[in-house]
A and B are shown apart, each in its own frame.
Chain A
Amino acid sequence: MTDLKFSFTELMQRKPALVSLVIILILVLGAVCAPLLAPHDPEYVELGRALLRPQTDYPLGTDHLGRCVFSRLLYGSRVSLGASSLVMICNISISLVIGILAGYKGGWIDEIFMRLGDIFLAFPNLVLTLVIVGMMGPGLQNILIAMVIAQWAWYARIIRGMVLSLRESNFVLAARVSGVPSFHILLHHILPNISSQVLILATLNVGWAILHISGFSFLGLGIQPPTPEWGVMLKDSRSYFWSDPLLMLFPGLMISSAVVSFNLLGDALKEIAGMKGNL
């Protein structure tokens, strides 16, 4: 408990981290309350009102099909944040299980998972994802699966490293001598001591996932129109860049602010974890 309190007060003392946290909270709030906040149906097409400037009725204007940009951004954050959190949760839980098993048990389990991981790590991340999506076809679900397949080995390897060094620490040896069962050692000694680093990995992973989901949608491989999503919006507004640059600016700003916020938060957490290490 004192630990958590310490981390929280430390976090509050860092301006960039605080700003990031506020931005993330606003985004999450917007996503959750989208039906209440959105002035229009995000998918309602009204060609007569296409490409309007921002005005009271349409706070951020309308796109080329006359849809409300503000409403689309709000609903888009639901897709972006939701999907990237899902990727993060899958990624971290898979790699946590594999990393802990491989790191703590060692032996052939370690060999199998790590050699398998080597195969996945041998391909560049983006290429691997593209190949998997190419095989399974575009779509949100397939993108998510592809991203998890491409990333798990990376995180599993990091977590395995952390577990490996903890396994040799004296307090784990002492627990083994005391006759504490392996499962309890993992639960009480290993997991609490890697939790802060895993939290950092998770935060950075969300930022990474937002960027990639939007990127794939922009390329037409991810979420398909007319579903509102930041990457899709960016793609749609590309043709109107010279006449209506604002149309491209808003989703771009959303993507970058979300990604930068998650990364800054991750960095701040990393710094605090490092400080605690020196305590």
Chain B
Amino acid sequence: MGLLEIQSIFKSYKTGSVLTRYRRIVKAVDGVTLSLGKSRCLGLVGESGCGKSTLARLVLGLEKPDRGEIVFRGNSMHVVFQDYYNSLNPKMNILNIVSEPIRYHSPLPASIVKSKTIELLETVGLSARDAEKYPHQFSGGQLQRINIARAISLDPSLLVLDEAVSSLDMPIRAQILNLLADLKSHSQMALIFISHDLDSVGYLADSIAVMYLGRIIEYFADISLVGNAQHPYTNKLLHPELGDFKFEQAHDASSKGCGYANQCEWAKAICYTKSPYLQTSSYGHMVACHEGVC
């Protein structure tokens, strides 16, 4: 029994107007099944527009899936977004921002809320003096620390990090990654770490799922298995310097076959007609590729 079970969920959006002929359906999440155990970290990797963030929103309950179900067996979950400035209400001071989840969760006297908040701020490397300040008085790394403080205020059993370090510069990124690693080792919190940067994912994650056009195309139950990556797209992510890049129009949702076929060096006839299922390739390693499995 995992903490989070995602059972073949689907979510699609309609774009364009009813009146134009460009109306089409974008399958943002196209049949994803995943599970996550207690205090584990799942790394979700993929390029922008592959449906990572939609999956996060579905998990967080901010959107309802078209089909499928999500079972969450923990007490609460929270999120840290990429855009750290937009994540904080500019009209509220840090004390109110960080203590918001506590205040709405359990009615506590103001003094206890305040001391708890200050404790949280100190956990993420800020000081009690910062509590009275406003978001515009902080730098990017500090703002992301504030976001993390708010996210862990209820001691959630799941924390979703949606590109949480992607817009930070390297030295600050390292600080935040270290902070997250500390939080992970000192608490029972499970993490979903979403990023397009495989290096950051490798630092935190225990298991890795690679996403492409709304589907999981490769899954490693343990990060040590990444060395046996089979899917051509995963290999491209691991060794971006190898091979040439093909610019093909993005895969159309209506067409059949593997979504990556247009860009794949090894594509065969079957890749264009039948879409591959995620199959177990070896213990703890699943891959969705006609080439890789056989």
Asked if A and B form a direct contact in the complex, defined as CB atoms under 8 angstroms apart, the reply is: yes
- The interface of chain A, by Cβ under 8 A from chain B, is 2-3, 169-171, 173-181, 184, 188-189, 192-193, 279
Interface string of B276-289 (1 = CB under 8 A from A): 00000000000000
Of all chain B residues, the one with the shortest Cβ separation from A174 is: B87
Residues of chain B contacted by A2 (CB below 8 angstroms): 134
The CA-CA distance from A192 to B97 in the complex, in Å, is 14
| Interface residue B73 (Cβ < 8 Å from any Cβ of A) | no
The CA-CA distance from A179 to B100 in the complex, in Å, is 9
- The reply to whether A171 and B105 form a contact with Cβ atoms under 8 Å apart is no
| Interface residue B91 (Cβ < 8 Å from any Cβ of A) | yes
Picked from B76, B77, B100, B147, the residue with its CB within 8 Å of the CB of A175 is B100
Nearest first, the 5 A-B pairs at minimum CB distance are A170-B87, A178-B101, A192-B91, A170-B81, A171-B89
The CA-CA distance from A266 to B97 in the complex, in Å, is 31
A272 to chain B, nearest CB (A): 15
The CA-CA distance from A176 to B100 in the complex, in Å, is 11
The CA-CA distance from A177 to B57 in the complex, in Å, is 10
Chain B interface extent, by class: 20 to 34
Residues of chain B contacted by A175 (CB below 8 angstroms): 100
| Interface residue B83 (Cβ < 8 Å from any Cβ of A) | yes
- The reply to whether A177 and B104 form a contact with Cβ atoms under 8 Å apart is no
Picked from A173, A189, A192, A279, the residue with its CB within 8 Å of the CB of B79 is A173
B158 to chain A, nearest CB (A): 11
**Known A-B contacts A173-B79, A193-B91; A181 and B104 likewise in contact (beta carbons under 8 Å):** yes
- The reply to whether B104 and A184 form a contact with Cβ atoms under 8 Å apart is yes
Residues of chain A contacted by B89 (CB below 8 angstroms): 171, 188-189, 192-193
Say whether chain A's binding surface is mostly helix, strand, loop, or mixed.
Answer: helix
Of all chain A residues, the one with the shortest Cβ separation from B147 is: A174
The CA-CA distance from A193 to B147 in the complex, in Å, is 19
Picked from B81, B91, B134, the residue with its CB within 8 Å of the CB of A174 is B81
Picked from A3, A171, A177, the residue with its CB within 8 Å of the CB of B78 is A177
| Interface residue B290 (Cβ < 8 Å from any Cβ of A) | no
**Known A-B contacts A184-B104, A193-B91; A173 and B81 likewise in contact (beta carbons under 8 Å):** yes
- The reply to whether B104 and A193 form a contact with Cβ atoms under 8 Å apart is no
Residues of chain A contacted by B62 (CB below 8 angstroms): 173, 176-177
Of all chain A residues, the one with the shortest Cβ separation from B57 is: A173
Most buried by A among B76, B89, B151: B89
| Interface residue B92 (Cβ < 8 Å from any Cβ of A) | yes
Of all chain B residues, the one with the shortest Cβ separation from A181 is: B104
Picked from A170, A173, A178, A189, the residue with its CB within 8 Å of the CB of B104 is A178
The CA-CA distance from A118 to B244 in the complex, in Å, is 53
**Known A-B contacts A3-B91, A177-B78, A193-B90; A170 and B83 likewise in contact (beta carbons under 8 Å):** yes
- The reply to whether A171 and B87 form a contact with Cβ atoms under 8 Å apart is yes
- The reply to whether B92 and A179 form a contact with Cβ atoms under 8 Å apart is no
The CA-CA distance from A184 to B89 in the complex, in Å, is 13
Residues of chain B contacted by A169 (CB below 8 angstroms): 86
Interface string of B119-130 (1 = CB under 8 A from A): 000000000000
- The reply to whether A179 and B105 form a contact with Cβ atoms under 8 Å apart is yes
Interface string of B50-81 (1 = CB under 8 A from A): 00000000001110000000000000111101
12 A/B residue pairs, CB under 8 Å, sorted by A:
A2-B134, A170-B83, A170-B86, A174-B79, A174-B147, A174-B150, A177-B60, A177-B61, A179-B76, A179-B104, A180-B100, A180-B101
Of all chain B residues, the one with the shortest Cβ separation from A190 is: B89
B152 to chain A, nearest CB (A): 12
The CA-CA distance from A169 to B86 in the complex, in Å, is 6
Residues of chain B contacted by A3 (CB below 8 angstroms): 91
Of all chain A residues, the one with the shortest Cβ separation from B88 is: A171
The CA-CA distance from A228 to B136 in the complex, in Å, is 51
Question: Would you list which residues of chain B between 90 and 134 have a CB under 8 Å from chain A?
Answer: 90-92, 97, 100-101, 104-105, 134
- The reply to whether B100 and A178 form a contact with Cβ atoms under 8 Å apart is yes
Most buried by A among B60, B86, B105: B86
B103 to chain A, nearest CB (A): 9
